[in-house]
Structure 1
Amino acid sequence: MLRMKHRGTVPLEQRLVYVQVVEGLLEHGLRGSVSPRLKHRLRQAGIDLDRPLLPGYPVLLWGKCLDVIVEETLPGLPREEAFRQLAERHVQGYGRTVVGRAVYGVMRLLGPRRMVQRLPQTLRATDNYTEVELTEQGPTTYAMRMNSRVDAPGYAEALFESLLRLGGAESPRVARIHEDADSTTYQLTWTER
Structure 2
Amino acid sequence: MQGLEGSRELGVGRPAAARRRLVFEHTVEGLFRFSLRSRLSSQAWNGLKAVGIDLSKPLLPAYSDETWKRALELTVVDLYPLVPREEGWRRLGQEVVNGMVHTVMGRAMVGVARLLGPLRSLRRLNNTLRSADNYVESRLTELSPTACEVWINEVMGQPTYYQGILEACIALAGGQRARVRVVAREGTGARLHVEWEE
Q: TM-score range by the shorter chain?
A: 0.7 to 0.9
Q: Is the contact made by 2:157 and 2:188 (CA closer than 8 Å) also made in structure 1?
A: no
Matched residue, 2:6: none
Offset of 1:112 from its aligned partner? 1.0
Q: 2: CA distance between counterparts of 1:130 and 1:108?
A: 23
Query: Which amino acid in the other structure matches residue 10 of structure 1?
Result: A
Matched residue, 1:47: 53
Match of 1:38 among 37, 44, 66: 44
Alignment of 1:94-109 (within 5 A): 94-109=100-115
Alignment of 1:1-193 (within 5 A): 8-10=15-17, 14-152=20-158, 154-192=160-198
Offset of 1:17 from its aligned partner? 0.9
Q: 1: CA distance between counterparts of 2:176 and 2:110?
A: 17
Offset of 1:92 from its aligned partner? 1.3
Q: Is the contact made by 1:79 and 1:153 (CA closer than 8 Å) also made in structure 2?
A: no
Higher RCO, Cα 8 Å, sep 6+ = 1
Query: Which amino acid in the other structure matches residue 39 of structure 1?
Result: W
Q: TM-score if structure 1 supplies the norm length?
A: 0.88
More helix by share: 2
| 1:66 to 1:166, Cα distance in 2 relative to 1, 3 A | same
Describe the SS at the equivalent of 1:57.
Answer: strand
Q: 1: CA distance between counterparts of 2:66 and 2:181?
A: 23
Q: 2: CA distance between counterparts of 1:84 and 1:184?
A: 14
5+ residue gaps, structure 1, are 1-6
Q: Is the contact made by 1:17 and 1:126 (CA closer than 8 Å) also made in structure 2?
A: yes
| 1:158 to 1:127, Cα distance in 2 relative to 1, 3 A | same
The two structures, once aligned, show a CA RMSD in angstroms of 1.8
Q: Give the aligned length.
A: 185
Question: Structure 1 stretch 63-72 or stretch 143-152: which is displaced more?
Answer: 143-152
Offset of 1:153 from its aligned partner? 5.2
Query: Which amino acid in the other structure matches residue 98 of structure 2?
Result: Q
Describe the SS at the equivalent of 1:125.
Answer: helix
